[in-house]
Structure 1
């Protein structure tokens, strides 16, 4: 089994475990990002919004889109780590070749690490964007509760309007796929791909920080080994730095991929990336680009730390099992 395949499978396994642990936070964060309330209006906190979802829509809505999300996580992490290892191996070979020619020390520098992560991210985005678009639609879909429809404070007109927006059948994966196709055809599955491609800078920055911190940590040790807890902390620090830098792009991507309601309100409809950016600044101010950032930091840092820790353990255990001599 090749090293790239080992890393790809380990990345998929680590991603699934991290996703299962942090998914409710991800759902709440996606709703916060796609909230189009005007500037000045106070938004609910993470815990408050989670309670609101459970109260009005049920526990299951916190896990809306979990199935395609797990498929997307396994696919994207597998693809990313597979190509990352291939590009990394080539970068290391090039670095060793330069050392033999007397023009380097044989190590992969920060710039090369950034390029390797960026190339891997671009391949991943182009292959998996349709899956994440479906997940975003399912996470932002709001299920109307019976309590809301029977509220005596609501007028008959509002109740009828609410009833007309409820989906005639379960809002499942196949329904979302058909909805996206009806809206924009095949190309509709690549909505938000431009900011998502720019967002490859997030894992690029993350892996650059991670590899740099890991190399420095190993350099001071004779055994050249690190513990699972240290990997956990390095992954958390790297993800925190990357998230703070790139969060506005994540909000724009979520806005473009969420279902847009054509009700005459310009705030609720975006023609493209630049249209979304301009309207967000106009109607929500620059604070709109940072909606839900606190939730995202908690969710992404925890998920990244778990992913790195589990992935490294899986890689080490797999290599150990493959290196054991076979009994004849």
Structure 2
């Protein structure tokens, strides 16, 4: 307890320190929730029309159905397909986000006379930080989506998947879905904006800046739920843009030749021009509910991972401060020797 009090009295973290703490929390959260991530991704790329075209054990009717069928066909490790790329992606994205968010927020705070920001200001700062993070890290998201939705026998490793994407679509293929990703920057903006507002309300009401981990967990879950419901159709559209449709119709488990008319029609229909085109075509085949396919898994995963992220960041921040201070002390001691 005394150690934690000493840690809490240390100076605030720099943007780099905040980025390290945020990334550590995000890595732990992703590892715990990854099976939900892969099930929601596979649900997002399936349409009603696929149910009669692919093998029964590869068409998923719900999150629970997907979970059991993936284990049955690929084993428990099937739920972690693409995990290395996912971990790299979440670490780099959260590192970039927390770095830019802390840097921009600190800069704005120095130039502003107010100690607290409005909700609008929080949203703008969060969206700007998210946009910068996405531009640098979206290639890993493209690779992860490809690995998650590729059959186990055709799935390549991180380097192989990267080479495949570049050979098929050029280097720009690694930035597929960038436009909807930039639009989706409003998701973390809503999340962090709502979290900061809820946190401010509770701290002012209780006259205490240190919220309990349980309250932090609840606020993170509530904030992410709101953000996910608002932005889900675009989340689905981004995944479909990054997805590569299989080279088969898989009717009855038998692959159809690539030059068949059925395959050409299927591929032409599933080749999207952009997020709006995805939404239009999904609406035509699956109705409005198609926009929210896999939402149960998405909300569970998003809420749980975000709540865990906020929860873990509270602790990783404390110990990151301790580690940074320790290294600073060691460096100072060496200079004196």
**TM-score (normalised: structure 2):** 0.82
Whole-Å separation in 2 of the counterparts to 1:321 and 1:220 = 33
Among 145, 162, 174, which residue is 1:177 paired with? 162
Q: What is the SS of the residue equivalent to 2:239? A: helix
Among 228, 232, 253, which residue is 2:217 paired with? 232
Q: What is the SS of the residue equivalent to 1:269? A: coil
What is the CA-CA distance between 1:268 and the residue it aligns to?
Answer: 2.5
The residue number in structure 1 matching 2:145 is: 136
The residue number in structure 2 matching 1:92 is: 109
The residue number in structure 1 matching 2:45 is: 34
Unaligned stretches of 5+ residues in structure 1: 97-104, 144-165
Whole-Å separation in 1 of the counterparts to 2:329 and 2:271 = 62
Unaligned stretches of 5+ residues in structure 2: 1-11, 53-58, 248-262
1:282 aligns with 2:269: no
What is the CA-CA distance between 1:39 and the residue it aligns to?
Answer: 10
1:121 aligns with 2:95: no
Whole-Å separation in 2 of the counterparts to 1:322 and 1:88 = 21
What is the CA-CA distance between 1:320 and the residue it aligns to?
Answer: 4.9
- 1:121-270 correspondence to structure 2 within 5 Å: 121-143=130-152, 167=154, 171-261=156-246, 263-264=263-264, 265=266, 266-270=268-272
8 A Cα contact 1:191 1:256, kept in partner: yes
Whole-Å separation in 1 of the counterparts to 2:325 and 2:208 = 19
**Deviation digits for residues 183-218 of structure 1, max 9, x if unmatched?**
110111111111111000100000110000011111
Whole-Å separation in 1 of the counterparts to 2:314 and 2:124 = 22
Whole-Å separation in 2 of the counterparts to 1:208 and 1:39 = 39
1:17 aligns with 2:17: no
Q: What is the SS of the residue equivalent to 1:220? A: helix
- Which ranges of 4 or more aligned residues in structure 1 deviate by more than 4 Å? 39-43, 320-328
What is the CA-CA distance between 1:261 and the residue it aligns to?
Answer: 4.2
Whole-Å separation in 1 of the counterparts to 2:109 and 2:120 = 13
- Bigger shift: 273-282 or 236-245? 273-282
8 A Cα contact 2:221 2:304, kept in partner: yes
The residue number in structure 2 matching 1:68 is: 85
**Deviation digits for residues 129-163 of structure 1, max 9, x if unmatched?**
100000000111123xxxxxxxxxxxxxxxxxxxx
1:3 aligns with 2:52: no
Whole-Å separation in 2 of the counterparts to 1:254 and 1:23 = 16
Whole-Å separation in 2 of the counterparts to 1:323 and 1:67 = 31
Count residues in correspondence.
296
1:307 aligns with 2:309: yes
